[in-house]
Structures are given as C-alpha cells and as structure tokens.
C-alpha cells in the first residue's frame, strides 16, 4: 500500500516534469519569435533596398532622382551591418560587377599607387585583405546624406572619420565609391 508521502512525491515529480516541458516549449517559442523577427527585418531591409535601388532612376527615362532619406538610411544600415559582421558575401552584395572604388587606403593596403580598384573581383580581394589586417574593424554611423542617384555615408572607424560617396547603377548596386578620410590622431 502506498503512503500519501509516496503519492505526494510522485505528484511533485510529475509537476516538475510538466514545468520543465512548459519551460522548454517557452524557450522554443522565444527562439521561433526571434528567428521570425530577424527574417521580417531582413525582408523589410531587402524591400527598402530594392525600392531605393530602383528609385534612383525613373522607369521611363534615364533621369536620376534624389534618393529619399528613409531609403538612404536603410541602405546605410544594411551596408554597415554587413561590414560590422565581417561577412564578405554580404559586403560584396552591395557592389556591381564593374565597380570602381577609390580610397587612400588602397595605396596603403595593397600598394596600388592610383588608389583605385576596378571590378568586383579585385575589390573582393582588397576587402578580404583589409578584413584580415584589421580583425577589430567596426564602423559607427554618424550620418547619411542623400544625393542624386547616390548616398554619402558618414561614419567613424577606429581613429578616423570617413565620408564615403556611393553612386548606384541602374540595378541599384554601387558602381562607384569614393572614400574620404580624416585621421583624428596624428
């Protein structure tokens, strides 16, 4: 015959197991919610980028338009997020195949005297080398400026501030980028 103490212990064990199951289910739902939120944010970012990229030109003409602030901010946030994650594929997804990139750091990092890199493959190699040379690289946005078919991202990186002017082609990819630096410490 079972005593009420044995029955009480079994009930407590059963209640504990039920509680653990509820906790696991709760954690599972939290993970699902976080995953869903991230997917929604990425979809929204992608939609805003696509709108921004295609809005820089009117469909019926080759006339360029000023990129709206909201779209410029969405682009800048996506671009900075790619850089800060050090995800080379995400970084390169912003650039066209025939991109022209100009930066004083090009002379320093790959010893290119013109300071200009042409083409996505060459740019990928430069970015890859830069990311390996500066593993702590992190950009912090200061401001975003809107232009005609272009955006200027003003940001801080290490001991310098940078203004990078990015011009977009018809597909909305960066076709030309001009980086300008101010070193805060000599």
Summarised one tens digit per residue, pLDDT across range 128-182 is 999 998 899 999 999 999 999 999 999 999 889 999 999 999 888 999 999 999 9
Pick the closest to residue 54 from 169, 179, 183, 182 (CA basis): 169
Tell the burial category of 72 from Cβ atoms under 10 Å away from its Cβ (0-12, 13-18, 19+): buried
Per-residue confidence (pLDDT) for residue 62, from 0 to 100:
58
The pTM of this model reads 0.67
Q: Which domains does the chain have, with CATH numbers?
A: 47-183 (3.10.450.50)
Mean pLDDT of 84-93: 96
Question: pLDDT digits over 7-60, tens only?
Answer: 778 888 888 888 888 888 888 888 888 877 777 777 777 666 666 655 554 444
Does position 118 have pLDDT exceeding 80, yes or no? yes
Structure tokens at 50: 């696509």
Residue with structure tokens 């390996």? 132
Question: What is the CB neighbour count within 10 angstroms for residue 114?
Answer: 9
Phi and psi at residue 42, in whole multiples of 5°? -65, -40
**pLDDT at position 126:** 95
């Amino acid at each position: 015959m079972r005593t009420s103490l044995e029955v009480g212990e079994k009930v407590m064990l059963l209640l504990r197991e039920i509680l653990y199951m509820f906790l696991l289910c709760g954690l599972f739902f939290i993970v699902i919610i976080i995953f869903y939120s991230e997917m929604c944010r990425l979809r929204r970012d992608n939609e805003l980028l696509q709108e921004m990229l295609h809005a820089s030109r009117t469909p019926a003409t080759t006339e360029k338009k000023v990129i709206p602030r909201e779209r410029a901010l969405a682009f800048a946030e996506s671009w900075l997020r790619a850089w800060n994650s050090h995800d080379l594929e995400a970084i390169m997804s912003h650039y066209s195949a025939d991109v022209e990139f100009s930066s004083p750091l090009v002379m320093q990092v790959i010893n290119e005297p013109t300071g200009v890199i042409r083409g996505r493959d060459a740019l990928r190699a430069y970015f890859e080398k830069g990311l390996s040379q500066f593993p702590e690289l992190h950009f912090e946005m200061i401001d975003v400026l809107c232009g005609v078919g272009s955006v200027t991202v003003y940001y801080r990186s290490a001991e310098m501030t940078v203004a990078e002017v990015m011009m977009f082609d018809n597909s909305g990819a960066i076709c030309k980028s001009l980086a300008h630096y101010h070193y805060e410490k000599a």
